[in-house]
Structures are given as C-alpha cells and as structure tokens.
Amino acid sequence: MLFELAPFSNLLVLAIPFSFIVFLVRFIRQAAFRKTGPKIPPGPPGSDHAKYLQADRWNVFKAWNEKYVLGTMEGAIDLLEKAGETFSSRPDFVMGAKASPVAKPMQENESAVLIKDLLENKAEDGILDRKHSILRRYMASTMFQMAYGRRVTSMEDALVMEHDEVEEFIIRVPGRFFLESAQVTLTALRKPLQWFSWEPERRRDTNTRLYMSVLNDVKKRIEEGTQVPCTTQWALERQKELGFNDLELSYALSSPWAAGIGTVTTAIEIAILAILHHPEAYEKVNEEMDKVVGRDRMPTFADQQNLPYLEAFIKETMRWRLVTPTVIAHSSIQDYTYKGMFIPKGTAIYPNGTMMMRDPAVFPDGDAFKPERFLNISDPRLQTYKFGVFGFGRRICPGMYVALQSLYIGMARMLWAFKVVPVIENGKPYIPDADDFSYGLVSYPASLKYRLVARSEKHRGIAIGEAELAEERMAGLPRSH
C-alpha cells in the first residue's frame, strides 16, 4: 500500500508559477510536520517521487515494497478490514449479492450466444486479439440486460460505443493525471486556471448524457407497459425511498455495468494468456469437464460446485495477473496509528495488489502459476474470492458476485467447446509475453493473440443448438439501437 500523507510530491512537474508557490508552501508545511509531529510512514527520496507519475506505477511500488510500500496481506487486513470504519468511508453494499441469482438465466443465455459468436468468428485466419469485440459484446449484453432490460447485439451500436469511450477514459486516468492525488492543493486556483479539470469535466458531461439516456429509455418503456424487470425498474419504483434524484440514480445504476464490462473481459483474456503459457492446466480443466459434464451438453451453473479444478484455475488466473494491479484507493476518515506509524486523517491509501498476490506468507512461490494452491485449503479467505482480487473491506467490489458468475459460465463454456491454440508466426507458435500489460486502472494483456478451435463437430453442434434456444428465450427483449 502507498500512503499519500500529503500530495505535494505530484506537483513537482507543474509548469504554472503560482502552482509552484502552492507546492512550496505545502512542502514547507509537510517538512515541518515531519520534524515536529508524530512518526509517519516513510516515503521515497524526493528524486524518486516523480516515479509515482508513471503509468506502470505498480512496478515502481514493487521496487519500493520492502522499504516504503505496505504490500502484505496482513497489512491490508489490519488496515482495510479490521480498521475498515477508519479507512473505508462507504457503507456495505449488498445489492450485488442479492442480484446475482437473478442474473444467472441471463448469463447462461448470453454465454451460449458467446460460444456461437466465437464459432462463427470471421477474423482473418480465426485469430483473436484485443481488437475483436466478441467477448465484450457478451459482457455488455449481460450487464445491459441486468441494468436496463435490453440486449446488445453489436458493439458497433451507438450507445455501446459511447460507453466504450467513457470506459477507456476511466481506466486510463490513473497515471495520466498527476493531480489525481492532489485533492486539495490546486482547488485554491480560480476555475479558469484549473486546467487539470477540463478533460474530466468534459467526460463527465458525456457520462451524464449516456447514463440519463438509458434511464429515460426505461422510464418511457414503463409508461408504455413494455419494460421487462430490471435493476433500473426496481430502483425507479423505490426512488423516493432511496432518496436519489434522477441524475444520482442514473450514476448509481451505471456503476455495475460501467465497471463490469472491461474487467470481466480482461479476466477472460488473462485466463487465455495463462492457458497459452501453461497448457497442462488447461488439460486438467478439460479432464474434469469431460468427467463431470460430458460431451453431450454444455456446462451450467448447476455444475459449478462439482468443478473444483476449474474454480481453482479461475482463482489462480485472477491472482497471477491482477485486472486492477493497484486496486481502488481508500481514504482515512480519522487519525490512526499502525505499528507505531501515525496515519493522519485524509490519507489516501493505495493497496499494492500485485505484491499482495505474491506475499510469500500467503502464496508461496507466488510468481508460478499453480491452480493447485487453491485446492484442499483451510484458509477461509482462499476458499472464497475475498483474498484481495476484488479489493478489501467495505470497498470490496459490490459487483463481485455477478462478475464471478459471468466469468465462471463464460470460461466453463469456452473451455468445454474450444481448444485454445497459439497463432503461428514465421513458422513458429507465438506465445504472448506474460508481462506485457497495458497501464491504467484496468491492466490487460497488450500483445495477446490466439485461436479457438472447436474440440469436435459434436461440441460445435451442441453449442449452436444451445445458442438458438437462448436466442428464442431472449427474443422478446428490446435490443440496443
């Protein structure tokens, strides 16, 4: 974890003279506090602060881990869970857990269509990479069904393209704006001088237009009597009780799908990357699948409890390469002392998820890919998914249960139906670099390329038949336009 006791370090690169003066005042105050105040956690030398501005700051955190950054599971549990009231100023959110059973029929239907789409992939030589939107359509349609009661049949639809633009901005913000931690200092500038807020404000307008349009669309269908049950309808019926105006409600309802589309898609891509590097794990998944499910039907949610190796494989995938390496920031709402170190109120805390997933006290040989580490275990945290991949304490991802269901059913059916094989380049199998990842809040395998080949004609036929049945079941749903 990185403790940002005062955000002056991020101001080192400012070009505006007045901003430098503000920085200097903050620096002097901080230096005085360090000399006269209680002992606070150490920070990197002044020349190293600029490294925090790098987009790949989790690699910087790795270098700082032993001396400056708290990157152990013990520290995360002590601060973010046991002291959660201090470091997580957000109430518990149980909607995700309550909504997850309702989502299962939607996820089974959309995952069946996903397999059909992958079978009919028209990419050149069948090669799939980040540019292909088949996986994203699966997640977009699932999340839009839950939120608004409508399907997404193409990622080229205007609404989804606008969402993608918003999501791309959100996941790129960490590392792009060195002011992300300067929460107070520069707000003293007059509005026209707050250049750092211009792009976020423009994007906020885009967000508002997008979120309000889908909210109003549901309102219209409710008035017409054509709306199918969904989260938005549920919330509108309880809007007064919830105490939200339309704008607040539109943003609250957007959170699960705005966050879930890219993250679950990335988790599936990381699983494919793991298979390319560790085909022996993939073979074990298939052996278990053939034994439990067989070859005469696709896996369902009813099979999940009988597929422990698949469950372990998914957990290890999420631990091996985190979708969100620096996890979501926490903030202390009051002064706190931890192991003799004083943490002032208002301190921003960034959990160093990557290092926690390699904490030798919890994950021996953490650089290795070993699904077996999640089999026959007694640690209750590792028996569930509450070991850090979805965050900690009250700021654990509220959509965790829905995301896990989409990940399970999508992965189970893909691995039941397909062989994952490398692309051939220059006469040799191409294995993507396991460490070549994008930088930002969400980190995806940047050089991933692969092919999916049907395991047999029987698998192909069953998958096509399941998809046709799923399309029939969803025929009455509105489609994005």
Per the model's pLDDT, the better-predicted residue between 96 and 464 turns out to be 464
**Average pLDDT taken over every residue of the chain:** 77
Contact 443, 325 (CB under 8 A): yes
Q: Which of 195-209, 298-312, 329-343 has the lowest mean pLDDT?
A: 195-209
Which domains can be identified in the chain, with CATH numbers? 1-87+326-356 (no CATH), 88-322+357-473 (1.10.630.10)
Give yes or no for residue 45 having a pLDDT over 60: no
Residue 384's pLDDT is what?
73
Give yes or no for residue 474 having a pLDDT over 80: yes
CA distance 55 to 103: 35
Give yes or no for residue 67 having a pLDDT over 60: no
Q: Which of 15-19, 42-46, 214-218, 334-338 has the lowest mean pLDDT?
A: 15-19
pLDDT band of 394, cuts 50, 70, 90: low
pLDDT band of 221, cuts 50, 70, 90: very high
Give yes or no for residue 260 having a pLDDT over 50: yes
Give yes or no for residue 369 having a pLDDT over 90: yes
55 CA to centre of own chain: 17
397 annotated to bind ligand = yes
Structure tokens given for 414: 């893909």
Q: What is the mean pLDDT of residues 361-389?
A: 83
Give yes or no for residue 267 having a pLDDT over 80: yes
pLDDT band of 12, cuts 50, 70, 90: very low
Give yes or no for residue 375 having a pLDDT over 90: yes
Contact 434, 130 (CB under 8 A): no
